[in-house]
Amino acid sequence: MNLLIAAARLFGVGVVLALASLGASAADSAGELSAIHAADEIWVKAFNAGDVDTMVGCYAEHSVLLPPGAPPASGLPAIRSFFSKMVPGAVKEGLTFTLGPNPAGGVHGDFGWSSGTYVLKDKTDHVVETGKYLSVSKKKDGKWLYVRDTWNSDGPAPATEPASGTKK
């Protein structure tokens, strides 16, 4: 009988330790997810300030940017080139980018993801575009860096011109 009681106590201790471990893991994941969302806000502030260097610093060395209406930009030099062409014009036009409330996300080990909505406004605070984004990040040296990043507009696709030389 004593053996049965000892086994039950040992099992109970194991269950308590396992549950405590799950709670700590969930708290760790929540903290990491907050860090991923904070990295998204760093990108937004850099965009709005026209700070291409900080924006590029949000990406891992071999990351891929998947912008709408353009080919993928693979690796930091291509990402820098893309933003160096896009961002100065946006700043000149007075465009500001904000993320919507309550972004989604998740973390598994050193990988995480974030998704949500965005709003792009002009200098008169008029909404120019709304859309959604998705990024996948990897934690490297304590910092969350994008490995894949994409966004797209909620608006209709641009109209296409009919091909020249139509048949009669």
CA-derived radius of gyration, the chain: 23
pTM reported for the whole predicted model = 0.77
In the chain, which stretches have pLDDT less than 70?
1-28, 158, 160-168
Residue 62 has a pLDDT of 97
User: Which has the closest alpha carbon to 101: 60, 35, 41?
Assistant: 41
State the residue for tokens 């990351």.
Answer: 63
Residue 29 has a pLDDT of 82
Q: For the chain, what are the domain ranges?
A: 2-153
- 135 within 8 A of 65, measured Cβ to Cβ: no
Residue 20 has a pLDDT of 40
Quick one: CA torsion of 120, 123, 126, 128, rounded to 10 degrees?
-40
Residue 25 has a pLDDT of 44
Please tell me the number of Cα atoms within 13 Å of 59 on its side-chain side. 25
Please give the Cα distance from 38 to 27 (Å, whole number): 16
Q: Which two tokens stand for residue 105?
A: 């996300």
Please give the Cα distance from 99 to 36 (Å, whole number): 13
CATH topology of domain 2-153: Nuclear Transport Factor 2; Chain: A, (3.10.450)
